[in-house]
Amino acid sequence: MSENRRPGSTRGAATLLLVAVLGIAVVVAAGGLAISRIAVARVRVSSAADLAALAAAPDRDCAKARSVARANRAHLLACEVRGSDVEVTVGLEVAVAGRSLELIAASRAGPP
């Protein structure tokens, strides 16, 4: 069985175009997923820092800050008592596109 092809024929061009468009769609979707994963982790680490500072503030107890950070799947990087205020820095590991990133947030709490 032989096929007669004319020079300059566009037969199969739609298939190549479809494959290219699908490839681009996959790359864009993966990028969007990575960005949304980082955005969610950023909110989580910020919340963990706020909650850790609020937990430590009444008694100025950094052990409470560490416990609350751990309960929020984060880790306490620093805790400083400055007068009646407590300042905490919290880190959170997030895996994005096969790489591990550490997001960091800080928060301060004390009496009004």
The span from the CA of 7 to the CA of 37, in Å, is 49
**Does a structural domain hold residue 61?**
yes
Give the phi and the psi of residue 106 in degrees, each rounded to 5: -125, 150
pLDDT tens digits, one per residue of 52-96: 999 999 999 999 999 999 999 999 999 999 999 999 999 999 998
Task: Region of 60 please: left (phi>0), alpha (psi -120 to 50) or beta.
Answer: left
**Does a structural domain hold residue 31?**
yes
**In total, how many domains does the chain have?**
1
**Does a structural domain hold residue 36?**
yes
Structure tokens at 7: 């020079």
pLDDT tens digits, one per residue of 17-27: 999 999 999 99
Q: Which structural domain range is residue 55 located in? A: 14-109
**Does a structural domain hold residue 9?**
no
**Does a structural domain hold residue 4?**
no
Identify the band that residue 7 occupies on the pLDDT scale cut at 50, 70 and 90: low
Its pTM stands at 0.75
**Does a structural domain hold residue 2?**
no
**Does a structural domain hold residue 93?**
yes
**Does a structural domain hold residue 8?**
no
Contacts of 51 (CB under 8 A, 6+ apart): 68, 69, 72
Residue 12 clears pLDDT 90, i.e. is over it:
no
Residue 103 clears pLDDT 60, i.e. is over it:
yes
